[in-house]
Protein backbone atom coordinates (compact mmCIF):
# COMPACT_ATOMS: atom_id res chain seq x y z
CA UNK A 1 0.00 0.00 0.00
CA UNK A 2 2.98 2.26 0.57
CA UNK A 3 3.70 2.31 -3.17
CA UNK A 4 0.28 3.64 -4.16
CA UNK A 5 0.37 7.13 -5.64
CA UNK A 6 -2.81 8.88 -6.69
CA UNK A 7 -1.95 11.06 -9.65
CA UNK A 8 -4.90 13.38 -9.08
CA UNK A 9 -4.08 14.05 -5.41
CA UNK A 10 -3.50 17.75 -6.09
CA UNK A 11 -6.91 17.98 -7.73
CA UNK A 12 -8.45 16.28 -4.70
CA UNK A 13 -6.63 18.66 -2.35
CA UNK A 14 -7.86 21.67 -4.32
CA UNK A 15 -11.42 20.36 -4.24
CA UNK A 16 -11.16 19.74 -0.51
CA UNK A 17 -9.98 23.33 -0.01
CA UNK A 18 -12.83 24.66 -2.15
CA UNK A 19 -15.32 22.58 -0.17
CA UNK A 20 -13.95 23.91 3.13
CA UNK A 21 -14.17 27.47 1.82
CA UNK A 22 -17.73 26.82 0.70
CA UNK A 23 -18.54 25.45 4.17
CA UNK A 24 -17.19 28.64 5.76
CA UNK A 25 -19.22 30.82 3.39
CA UNK A 26 -22.33 28.73 4.06
CA UNK A 27 -21.81 29.00 7.83
CA UNK A 28 -21.40 32.76 7.53
CA UNK A 29 -24.62 33.05 5.49
CA UNK A 30 -26.42 30.86 8.02
CA UNK A 31 -25.20 33.05 10.90
CA UNK A 32 -26.39 36.18 9.10
CA UNK A 33 -29.82 34.61 8.54
CA UNK A 34 -30.01 33.61 12.21
CA UNK A 35 -29.09 37.16 13.27
CA UNK A 36 -31.81 38.57 11.02
CA UNK A 37 -34.33 36.12 12.48
CA UNK A 38 -33.31 37.10 16.01
CA UNK A 39 -33.60 40.78 15.15
CA UNK A 40 -37.04 40.22 13.62
CA UNK A 41 -38.21 38.33 16.70
CA UNK A 42 -36.91 41.10 18.96
CA UNK A 43 -38.78 43.76 17.01
CA UNK A 44 -41.96 41.67 16.99
CA UNK A 45 -41.72 41.16 20.75
CA UNK A 46 -41.20 44.88 21.30
CA UNK A 47 -44.10 45.69 18.99
CA UNK A 48 -46.38 43.27 20.84
CA UNK A 49 -45.25 44.72 24.17
CA UNK A 50 -45.82 48.38 23.27
CA UNK A 51 -48.84 48.01 20.99
CA UNK A 52 -51.13 47.19 23.90
CA UNK A 53 -53.26 50.17 24.86
CA UNK A 54 -52.56 51.54 28.31
CA UNK A 55 -55.45 53.66 29.60
CA UNK A 56 -53.38 55.15 32.42
CA UNK A 57 -51.08 57.05 30.01
CA UNK A 58 -51.36 60.66 29.02
CA UNK A 59 -52.06 61.72 25.44
CA UNK A 60 -48.40 62.59 24.84
CA UNK A 61 -47.25 59.17 26.07
CA UNK A 62 -49.86 57.49 23.84
CA UNK A 63 -48.65 59.52 20.85
CA UNK A 64 -45.00 58.67 21.58
CA UNK A 65 -45.93 55.00 21.99
CA UNK A 66 -47.88 55.09 18.71
CA UNK A 67 -44.93 56.64 16.86
CA UNK A 68 -42.59 54.03 18.35
CA UNK A 69 -44.94 51.23 17.28
CA UNK A 70 -45.11 52.67 13.76
CA UNK A 71 -41.30 52.73 13.60
CA UNK A 72 -41.17 49.15 14.88
CA UNK A 73 -43.77 48.06 12.30
CA UNK A 74 -41.73 49.70 9.52
CA UNK A 75 -38.55 48.00 10.77
CA UNK A 76 -40.34 44.64 10.94
CA UNK A 77 -41.26 45.00 7.27
CA UNK A 78 -37.68 45.87 6.30
CA UNK A 79 -36.18 43.03 8.31
CA UNK A 80 -38.71 40.58 6.87
CA UNK A 81 -37.56 41.53 3.37
CA UNK A 82 -33.93 41.30 4.47
CA UNK A 83 -34.60 37.87 5.99
CA UNK A 84 -36.18 36.63 2.76
CA UNK A 85 -33.08 37.76 0.85
CA UNK A 86 -30.80 36.05 3.35
CA UNK A 87 -32.81 32.83 3.03
CA UNK A 88 -32.37 32.97 -0.76
CA UNK A 89 -28.64 33.58 -0.35
CA UNK A 90 -28.44 30.71 2.15
CA UNK A 91 -30.20 28.36 -0.29
CA UNK A 92 -27.79 29.41 -3.05
CA UNK A 93 -24.79 28.80 -0.77
CA UNK A 94 -26.24 25.41 0.25
CA UNK A 95 -26.49 24.38 -3.39
CA UNK A 96 -22.92 25.54 -4.04
CA UNK A 97 -21.75 23.51 -1.04
CA UNK A 98 -23.58 20.43 -2.31
CA UNK A 99 -21.94 20.87 -5.73
CA UNK A 100 -18.49 21.18 -4.14
CA UNK A 101 -19.12 18.03 -2.10
CA UNK A 102 -20.19 16.15 -5.23
CA UNK A 103 -17.04 17.27 -7.03
CA UNK A 104 -14.85 16.16 -4.12
CA UNK A 105 -16.61 12.82 -3.76
CA UNK A 106 -16.20 12.17 -7.48
CA UNK A 107 -12.42 12.46 -7.21
CA UNK A 108 -12.40 10.45 -3.97
CA UNK A 109 -14.32 7.64 -5.70
CA UNK A 110 -11.73 7.66 -8.49
CA UNK A 111 -8.96 7.49 -5.89
CA UNK A 112 -10.65 4.62 -4.06
CA UNK A 113 -11.14 2.67 -7.29
CA UNK A 114 -7.51 3.19 -8.27
CA UNK A 115 -6.37 2.16 -4.80
CA UNK A 116 -8.51 -0.98 -4.94
CA UNK A 117 -7.12 -1.82 -8.39
CA UNK A 118 -3.58 -1.26 -7.08
CA UNK A 119 -4.20 -3.50 -4.06
CA UNK A 120 -5.71 -6.18 -6.28
CA UNK A 121 -2.72 -6.01 -8.62
CA UNK A 122 -0.30 -6.25 -5.69
CA UNK A 123 -2.16 -9.26 -4.31
CA UNK A 124 -2.00 -10.95 -7.72
CA UNK A 125 1.75 -10.32 -7.91
CA UNK A 126 2.20 -11.69 -4.41
CA UNK A 127 0.09 -14.73 -5.25
CA UNK A 128 2.15 -15.40 -8.41
CA UNK A 129 5.36 -15.16 -6.35
CA UNK A 130 3.96 -17.53 -3.72
CA UNK A 131 2.87 -19.98 -6.43
CA UNK A 132 6.33 -19.79 -8.00
CA UNK A 133 8.04 -20.43 -4.65
CA UNK A 134 5.72 -23.35 -3.98
CA UNK A 135 6.46 -24.78 -7.41
CA UNK A 136 10.24 -24.48 -6.86
CA UNK A 137 9.90 -26.11 -3.46
CA UNK A 138 7.85 -28.94 -4.96
CA UNK A 139 10.38 -29.50 -7.75
CA UNK A 140 13.26 -29.46 -5.26
CA UNK A 141 11.46 -31.93 -2.97
CA UNK A 142 10.66 -34.31 -5.82
CA UNK A 143 14.31 -34.21 -6.98
CA UNK A 144 15.49 -34.97 -3.46
CA UNK A 145 13.08 -37.90 -3.21
CA UNK A 146 14.30 -39.33 -6.53
CA UNK A 147 17.92 -39.27 -5.46
- pTM for the model stands at 0.76
Residue 61 confidence (pLDDT) = 87
What is the tally of structural domains in the chain? Answer: 1
The residue range of the domain holding 79 is: 9-146
Q: Is residue 3 part of a domain?
A: no
Rounded Cα distance between 36 and 21, Å, is: 23
Q: Is residue 55 part of a domain?
A: yes
Who's near 86: CB < 8 A, 6+ residues apart? 29, 32, 33, 36
Residue 98 confidence (pLDDT) = 97
Q: Is residue 1 part of a domain?
A: no
pLDDT per residue, tens digit, the chain (147 aa), is: 568 888 999 999 999 999 999 999 999 999 999 999 999 999 999 999 888 877 788 888 888 889 999 999 999 999 999 999 999 999 999 999 999 999 999 999 999 999 999 999 999 999 999 999 999 989 888 888 876
Q: Is residue 2 part of a domain?
A: no
Amino acid sequence: MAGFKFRMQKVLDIRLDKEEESKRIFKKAQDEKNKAEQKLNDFKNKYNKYSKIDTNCSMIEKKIRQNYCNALYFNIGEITTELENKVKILDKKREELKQKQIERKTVEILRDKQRDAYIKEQKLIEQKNNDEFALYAYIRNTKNQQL
